[in-house]
Structure 1
Amino acid sequence: MPNPTIHDPAIEAPIVLPAGVIRLMAIRAARSVGQGALVAAFALYLHALGWHAAGIGATLSAALLIGAVLTMAVGPLSDRTGGRRRFLLLYEVLQVGAALLAIFSTHPAWLVLAAVVGGFGRGANGSAGPFGPIEQAWLALLLPAAQRGRVYSWNTALGFSGMALGALAAGAIGWFAPHAGAAPYRWLFGLSLLGSLVSLVLLFGAREPERAQHTAAIAGSRAEHAERSEQRAENQRLLKLVLVNSLNGLGIGMIGPLIAYWFLLKFAHGPGSIGPAIAASFALGALGSVLAGKLARQHGLIRSVVWMRLAGLLLLLAIPFSPWFMLAAGFYALRAGMNQGTAGVRQALVAGLTRDHRRGLASSLQNVSIQIPRAIGPLVAGLLLHAGMLTAPFVLAAIFQGAYLVLYAHFFRDFAGGGAD
């Protein structure tokens, strides 16, 4: 597979973003604010309603699992049928319905339904949740391969910046209504509603690029053999991706969805301090995305991921042993900068694993191989937290993510000398 060198002029040249890319990035920014608010506050809201840890974890797990199933269906379907815009419009309509349901009802059954449909608390960094692979494939069609690393990193940074603003908005509950119970949390669903309405407007004006017609090689046995050989090579790369992502997803699920609740249990802090702590993690995630993009151009995709994720792994182990909230929150924010900052360059790698006509499949496998194992994490972590085992989720997460790091470096080492893609 082509692997540009560090000094490739196409990589170093300034990038002029197509209008379609700018529109997709604006949609991501609109969504991200509500997502960030609910990462910081959704578990706290359920706790304020009287839910216990196991119930909160099970709800988050169900939302992740249903999202993973949808991801596996919609990515390949969009490859075959096109119409990416229609799929994303459907996603935004579902988000509007979920937000309205959560605003107007506190009944557990309706809240579970809203959480499953809306993906509340999952933290998708402004992406379209289970429909995210469609968006990533659309973005890849608009960009030359050599630019994807940088643009994907910018896109990730933009999402984290919006999520940081949303998490700060969640913190406002603790500043202005610290003793008002669960009621103030409900207006945060309005941020999700507003983001989806803005996204709908932007999507209505979007124009999909023409689908590249993939023509199977049928003009002779040698051409057919080449086609089959290339597809086998792609399948092998995708299988490796699924394996390493499964380990990563198990580690992410142990910590990310319940970190705000863990801060509450460990240090007895509320949204006034937890919201800014989560916001700091998203802000550093944005900075980490920019850093990862620069490292990828200088040292290659794989080295940048391995170095940053190794630093994040060490910070992860430091969090549960921190005696003070500010120290634990600082470690968590730095860890987010290292871990989440690599998301854009990892997406750029996935975009290069297959040819254009299978890119929706590749993006779907990238997401679903993380999300299904990630769905297990909140359930297990919720049970551990309910039993008072506040350190165990971090230790388990470190084991899974350490194994991920070793295998990721081994499986994709052929990309290590590359620049942006």
Structure 2
Amino acid sequence: MERRFNFLLISRAARSIGIVYVTLSLPLYLLYLGIPVSIIGTLLLLMVLFSVAISLLSGMLGDRIGYRYSLLIGEVPMLIATFILFHYNTIIPIEIATVIGGIGGTPGGLRGVFAPGLNALIARNWPESGERVKKMGRVMAVGAFSAFGGAVLLYSHGYLVSIMGAAEAFRMLYLSSFLLGLLSFASLVFIKERKAAKKKHGIIDRKSGKYTLKVILSNIVNGSGVGFSIALLPAWIELRFGVPPSTVGLMFTFSYVATAVSSLMATRRIDILRSPVWTASLSRIMQGVVMMAVAFSPSLLIVASLYIARSAAAGFGAPIRTAINVKGVSDSNFGIASSAQGMAVRSSTGTSAISGYLMEYSLPIPMEIGGVLQLLGGLVYYRLMRRDNR
């Protein structure tokens, strides 16, 4: 099992590089093609709805046929979308790729890590909570360090422009994302999954459903804030400061390193934390406070410094929160529970559509709203989860 775990790390590394480049570049590419930021936000909303459907279906199938297969199914939309982005240069296919790929959304350091079935697979293979956090922390650290590669791809766009033009540079780098997606898919084939009784009927038992609902409620609040402030952040930076894509890529490069380092720290500190729930909640509260400060920051350097700090907080809290989120879920319901929790996050980030329209009116407003909601998300998480995790 341990040896095959390395294939999961390879998959998350390749996926992170490819999907992070697409997530960072797609709003900028759409802006370059002349699509208004309000329409970009709407496209991301449609992407969220499609992604939610795929996530829920994969989770339900995973409980019945195995979570490894959920991960494999989850790779297919990205492969289709990146191929379309490379092969076509007209608006309609690109908009279709944005929707079906599930590759827009939040450009965080852990963007390429999570996929339907991942949390459930780790929970099944490593039932003990401390070991689960360590494994998840390693996966997140590898994913976040690899996200550095996605940001470097975007940074390299600035050099390719002089050779082949802006549009062709975007497309050639989308080909790189497609090839990385193939590597991720191939690596997942070699993953092993601990045998357990497969679910034969029903969706989720009452106890697991009640626990999952608490996670979902907090995720909706926090995800709404992320949709307002993070989903269109690359476009926000370009509109606010007028910088090229390569500069945006450089900023996110440092943020991904911060995420990776803090994820590793979480795996080493989990055994001495008095209150993992409070730590996980505090990380969300800190992220909200930082984004509220970003809204009125006068320079890109200050914005970059604040966002790097936010990324460190996110990286530390994520593996701890992931272990907590399935602690009260029975073994046969890991798939549907983790998919429903992820679905809540993804669907609530559909507020990016509202954010796009608000950005045409006032750039600071969506950052402020997003920051407040993320702060509230941390408080709600602590209020709902502390009693079950004393």
Provide the TM-score with structure 2 as the length reference.
0.91
Query: Which residue number in structure 2 is paired with residue 391 of structure 1?
Result: 364
Percent sequence identity over aligned pairs: 25
2:102 matched to 1:119?
yes
Q: Which has the larger radius of gyration?
A: 1
Q: Is the 8 A contact 1:288 1:340 kept in 2?
A: yes
Q: Residue 182 of structure 1 aligns to a residue in which SS? A: helix
Alignment of 1:209-248 (within 5 A): 209-212=194-197, 231-248=205-222
Q: Which whole-Å CA distance do the structure 1 matches of 2:53 and 2:232 have between them?
A: 22
2:186 matched to 1:201?
yes
Q: Is the 8 A contact 2:5 2:191 kept in 1?
A: no
2:25 matched to 1:41?
yes
Query: Which residue number in structure 1 is paired with residue 313 of structure 2?
Result: 338
Query: Which residue number in structure 1 is paired with residue 121 of structure 2?
Result: 138
Q: Is the 8 A contact 1:251 1:400 kept in 2?
A: yes
Q: CA deviation at 1:292?
A: 3.0
Q: Is the 8 A contact 1:145 1:352 kept in 2?
A: no
2:79 matched to 1:106?
no
2:387 matched to 1:403?
no
Alignment of 1:16-415 (within 5 A): 18-79=2-63, 81-122=64-105, 123=107, 125-127=111-113, 132-146=115-129, 147-177=131-161, 180-212=165-197, 231-299=205-273, 300-375=275-350, 377-387=351-361, 389-414=362-387
Q: CA deviation at 1:231?
A: 4.1
Unpaired segments ≥5 residues, structure 2: none
Q: CA deviation at 1:335?
A: 0.9
Q: Which whole-Å CA distance do the structure 1 matches of 2:99 and 2:199 have between them?
A: 36
Q: CA deviation at 1:203?
A: 2.6
Q: CA deviation at 1:45?
A: 0.8
CA RMSD of aligned residues (A): 2.2
Q: Which whole-Å CA distance do the structure 2 matches of 1:96 and 1:71 have between them?
A: 16
Unpaired segments ≥5 residues, structure 1: 1-16, 217-229
Q: Residue 192 of structure 2 aligns to a residue in which SS? A: coil
Q: CA deviation at 1:210?
A: 2.1
Q: Answer with 207-216 or 197-206: which moved more.
A: 207-216
Q: Residue 290 of structure 2 aligns to a residue in which SS? A: helix
Q: Is the 8 A contact 2:160 2:166 kept in 1?
A: no
Q: How many residues align?
A: 382
Alpha-carbon distance change, 400 to 347 in structure 1, aligned in 2, over 3 angstroms: same
Q: Which whole-Å CA distance do the structure 1 matches of 2:279 and 2:134 have between them?
A: 13
Q: CA deviation at 1:295?
A: 4.2
Q: CA deviation at 1:215?
A: 9.8
Q: CA deviation at 1:357?
A: 0.3
Letter in 1 for 2:176: L
Q: Is the 8 A contact 2:285 2:374 kept in 1?
A: no
Q: CA deviation at 1:412?
A: 1.1
Q: Answer with 60-69 or 293-302: which moved more.
A: 293-302
Q: Residue 117 of structure 2 aligns to a residue in which SS? A: helix
Q: Which whole-Å CA distance do the structure 1 matches of 2:340 and 2:112 have between them?
A: 19
Alpha-carbon distance change, 102 to 301 in structure 1, aligned in 2, over 3 angstroms: same
Q: Is the 8 A contact 1:301 1:415 kept in 2?
A: no
Q: CA deviation at 1:101?
A: 1.0
| Cα deviation 1:340-389 (Å, max 9, x = unaligned) | 442222111122121100111110111011111112x21011001122x1
| Cα deviation 1:81-121 (Å, max 9, x = unaligned) | 21433443333343322211110112222112211222223
Q: Residue 106 of structure 1 aligns to a residue in which SS? A: coil
